[in-house]
Amino acid sequence: MEELQRRIEEHIDTLSKFTATPGNGTTRLTYSEEDRLARNYIKNKMKEYGLQVWEDGFGNIFGKLEGTLKDAPSVLVGSHFDSVPNGGSYDGPAGVVAGLEVAGLFAKNKLTPKYPLEVIALIEEEGARFGGGLMGSRGITGLLSDEDFKQLKDQDGISTEEAMVQIGLDPSLPKKRDPKTIKAFLELHIEQGPILEEKNIPIGVVEAIVGLTQFEITVEGQAGHAGTTPMNHRSDALVAAANMIAQFPSLAIMEGEGTVMTTGRLQVYPNGANVIPNKVVFTVDLRSSKEEHIENVIHKMNKLIDTYSDNGIHISAEQRLYMKPKEMNREIIEHLKQSSNGLHIPYCSINSGAGHDAMVFSDYTDVGMIFIPSKKGLSHCPEEWSDSRDIAKAVEIFYETAKKLTEAEEK
Ligand code: HGY
Ligand code: MN
Ligand code: MN
C-alpha cells in the first residue's frame, strides 16, 4: 500500500504543478499550456504502464490494455483533468490517477483481461474555459454535436478548434464513440462536501447524482455618465442584474429539498468606475435531486427576469447545460460494495450534489462512482485536500471491481 500511496502522491503533486496560478490553487483551463503539460504527463504514465495511448477529436486521452476478446467493449476508469479557476489538486486528477494505478496493478500482477481496460482523462468537465461543462463526456456520447463543439469560443473569442491546434491537438480525429465499445465506466471523485469526513468513513458508494442546469444571462441597458445622468434617466444593467441575483437564493430555499442556486461568474461592461454599465453577463447554476424542483425554479426565475425587462432594460437567458438527475448502475454499486467488504474497507452510500462525467455516461453504459473524503468538505478552492491513503483504498476497490468487469485472470 505504501508504494501505491507514494506513486499516487507523486502523480497528484506533479499534476498540481501544471497551473496558471502557482501558489493560488490549480488553474488548468482546457487546451491551455497547463493542459498540454498535464496531458503529456498522463500520456507518458499510460505508456509506462504498457497502455496503448491515443487522443480523440476533443483531446480526451485514452490508455488501453487490450483484452483477449476481439473487438470487445472496454471498461473505462478515469475522470477529468481540467480545473475551475484557482481550484484544488484533487477535483478530477484523483480519478485519473486512480485509473492509472488500476492499470498499474493489472500490469504488476500480469493480469490479462477478457474485456479491455481503458484509463480515460477527460477534458473540460468544469466548463471554465468554454462554458457548460461535461464537454469531454458529452462529446464522446454525442450529447455535444461536432457542430456545436466547433461553435464554442472562450472569453477571448478563441474557438475550441483554434485552441486545440495551439497545443498540437488534432480536432479532425474521431469524436463521438460507439456505445457498443464501452462496457462500463468507473469514476473515483473527491466528495467535495463534509459527509464522509464527519462520518469518518473513507469510501462513499454513489447512488445518484443531482440534476443540474446552467444559464448565461445577459442584461442590457444604456451606458452613460455617472455624474451627469439623473437617477430617473438610467437603464443601469448592473443594478437590474444585482436586484435579480439577490433574489435567486430565496427561489432555491422556497423550493427546498436541497435545491441550490449560484451565480459564480459576472462580467460588467464597460466596467468603468464613472460609467453606468450598459451590459452585464452572469451565470446561474441550479441543482436539485428531483427534476420537478429544477423546472419549478427555472419557471420562477424566468418570471422574475420578466419583471426587470422594462425601462430600457433587455434581458436574455441562454441555457448552456441541462442534465437530469441520474442513478448509478445497481449491479456496479453491488460490485463496489462487495469489493469494499472483501477488502475490509468501510463504506457508506452517498448521493452527489456535484455534477460529474459519470452522469453523462450513465445513459450510455453501466456506471459506478465512489467518493473519498474532502478535508473540511472544501473543494473548488486551493485548500482542497484528500488523503492519498483514501485514494489508494479506492484504487484497490476499483482494481477488484475492474477484475470482475473485465473478467481478468491472473497468469
Ligand atoms: O460543478 C460541478 O458540480 C463539477 O465540479 N463540475
Ligand atoms: Mn470534478
Ligand atoms: Mn469540479
Say which ligand is closest to the CA of 125.
1
Q: Nearest Cα to 168, choosing from 18, 51, 43?
A: 43
pLDDT in tens, 160-208: 999 999 999 999 999 999 999 999 999 999 999 999 999 999 999 999 9
| 270 and 203 within one domain | no
395 lies in the same domain as 365: yes
Best of 28, 79, 90, 125 for a ligand 1 pocket test (most atoms within 8 Å of beta carbon)? 125
- Considering its fold, how many domains does the chain have in total? 2
Residue found by looking up cell 466596467 in the block: 271
- The span from the first CA to the last CA of the chain, in angstroms, equals 22
Q: How far is the CA of 192 from the centre of ligand 1 (A)?
A: 9
- Contacts of residue 300, defined as CB under 8 A and 6 or more positions apart, other chains included, come to 251, 255
d(CA 213, CA 271): 28
User: In 3D, which of 81, 86, 83, 79 has the Cα closest to residue 41?
Assistant: 81
| Of residues 42, 175, 92, the one with CA closest to residue 380 | 92
If asked whether residues 159 and 220 sit together in one domain, one would say no
What confidence tens digit (pLDDT) does each residue in 24-40 have?
999 999 999 999 999 99
Q: Is the same domain home to 246 and 100?
A: no
Residues with a beta carbon under 5 angstroms from ion ligand 3 = 91
> 2 to each of 68, 111, 374, how far by Cα in Å?
31, 21, 21
Could you give phi then psi for residue 330, rounded to 5 degrees? -60, -40
Residues 108 and 241 occupy one common structural domain:
no
CATH code for position 37: 3.40.630.10
Same-domain status, 309 and 391: no
Residue 118 · residue 76 · CB < 8 Å: yes
Residue 410, pLDDT score: 74
Among residues 276, 292, 323, the one where a domain terminates is: 323
Note whether 192 and 240 are same-domain residues: no
Q: Do 79 and 29 sit in the same domain of this protein?
A: yes
Q: Are 277 and 238 in contact (CB under 8 A)?
A: yes
Instruction: Give the residue from 323, 339, 365 where a domain finishes.
Output: 323
Pick the last residue of a domain from 323, 355, 385. 323
Residue 88: nearest ligand to its CA? 3
CB within 8 A of 230, min separation 6: which ones?
Answer: none
Residue 269 pairs with which residues in a beta bridge? 279
Q: Which atom of ligand 1 is nearest to the CA of 134?
A: 6
> Residue 366: what pLDDT?
98
Co-location of 112 and 153 in the same domain: yes
Q: Which three cell numbers stand for residue 110?
A: 500480469
From the CA of 125, give the closest atom in ligand 1: 6
Which residue type is seen at 407? Answer: E
Q: Are 62 and 75 in contact (CB under 8 A)?
A: no
pLDDT digits (tens, 9 = 90+) for 76-116: 999 999 999 999 999 999 999 999 999 999 999 999 999 99
Query: Which amino acid is residue 227, in one-letter code?
Result: G
* Amino acid 409: pLDDT: 81
Around Cβ 181, how many Cβ atoms within 10 Å? 15
Q: Where are the extended beta strands (E) located within 177-303?
A: 182-190, 203-209, 211-220, 224-225, 260-262, 266-269, 275-276, 279-288
Residue 138 and residue 25 share a domain: yes
Let me know whether 255 and 276 are in one domain.
yes
State the residue for C-alpha cell 456496479.
332
Residues of the chain whose pLDDT is less than 50?
A: none
Q: Are 120 and 76 in contact (CB under 8 A)?
A: yes
Domain that includes residue 217, residue range:
211-323
Residue 1 has a pLDDT of: 66
159 and 224 in a single domain? The answer is: no
Domain CATH number, residue 304: 3.30.70.360
Burial category of 151 from C-beta neighbours within 10 Å (exposed 0-12, middle 13-18, buried 19 and up):
exposed
Q: Is 125 in the pocket of ligand 1 (CB under 6 A)?
A: yes
pTM (two decimals)? 0.93
